[in-house]
Amino acid sequence: MKILIILPNWLGDALMATPAIEHLCTLFPDARFTFVGSYVAIEAIKYHPKAEASFVDETKKQGNRLKATQAFAQSLGQFDIAITFRSNIYSTLLLFFTPAHQKIARKSWHASLLLDKTKKLSRQIHLSEQYNDLVNLLETQTSSAPKSKLYIPKKVYGYPTLGINPGATYGSAKRWYPEKFADVAKAFSSEYRIIIFGGPSEVDMGADIEQRLQDMGISNYTNLAGKTNIYELCSHIGGLDVFVTNDSGPMHVAAAYEVPTVAIFGPTRHFETCQWKNERSRIVRRDDVPCAPCMKRTCPLKHHECMTKIEANDVIEAVREIL
């Protein structure tokens, strides 16, 4: 059973698609996957044991994207099933141009026009369930999404570790504050080594927290901000004892490894993008901010109260609960 999967672009969304991928494995034990996606999505997902091939979609960089999409599709081969977890027109066109017996996508005007099976997905349920509902189109009886899954081996630290992740690629509105992350780290620094995470664009935030820890006289930390590739990021997060993070891709990496996690939510819909089926996780958010969740990249009202009202002690107490 050859299955083409078009992954979501963002790391977190790709991780939230892994329950649907595991559902496909249950439905088709002989499945062989070809993954197409962004660089970060492919780097996280390509280690799946049923992955036969994986490709970074670079058609956006081509002068004529329509022509490039057609050529790319025709180079992939033939499939029994092709499914996209994206909803833009070019992912629809990629499936349209790909030889496959069944082609599945979220309902849209272009998918309904060009593909075999589409479904209108509710935004009132978790994104993992939304993706899984596309796989349910292949069954006569629907099934709930299983747990998230990554196949990158976890790092073995050899000592208790608490990770903090102050970044969030989507925008500044999703980011809690470095000084508060530092206060959380300080509260547990006598019991855990602190691991600071961050992507290439978040090096300054990592350095800010590192300086604050030094000023507090704390030396048992490792700053990995900007120093890990996707494989290393996943491995390092997977080996943690506890993780404190914004709503972000690394949060969903932790969910795949069932790392005890406290996630800080401000402008985003926690019921749609919180950790999926991680029993040892907590959400810290303010439900008394009427403008949240606004889903904006930056605070349109300039006060950022959905984050400023969350105090370090709120997060520290949540960490203690899950420990």
Average pLDDT over residues 23-27: 97
Enumerate the domain spans of the chain: 2-138, 161-322
Residue 161 has pLDDT above 80, yes or no: yes
For the chain, what percent of residues have pLDDT higher than 70?
Answer: 100
pLDDT of residue 173: 87
2-138 against 161-322: fold identical: yes
Cβ-in-10-Å burial (0-12, 13-18, 19+) of 151 comes to: middle
Q: What is the mean pLDDT of the chain?
A: 96
pLDDT of residue 317: 98
Give 216-274 pLDDT, tens digit per residue. 999 999 999 999 999 999 999 999 999 999 999 999 999 999 999 999 999 999 999 99
Structural tokens at position 111: 């998918």
pLDDT of residue 176: 93
Q: Domain 161-322 belongs to what architecture? A: 3-Layer(aba) Sandwich (3.40)
Structural tokens at position 131: 């993706």
Residue 170 has pLDDT above 80, yes or no: no
Residue 36 has pLDDT above 90, yes or no: yes
Nearest to 322 by CA among 263, 236, 253: 263
Alpha helices for the chain (secondary structure H): 11-16, 18-27, 39-45, 65-76, 89-97, 109-114, 127-135, 178-188, 203-215, 230-238, 249-256, 270-273, 305-308, 312-322
Angle CA 23–43–223, to nearest 5? 115
Contact in structure between 253 and 45 (CB atoms under 8 Å): no
Domain 2-138 superfamily per CATH: Glycogen Phosphorylase B; (3.40.50.2000)
Give 288-312 pLDDT, tens digit per residue. 899 999 989 999 998 999 999 999 9
Q: CA separation (Å) from 212 to 18, 82, 181, 182, 243?
A: 37, 49, 10, 6, 19
Comparing 307 with 93, which gets the higher pLDDT? 93
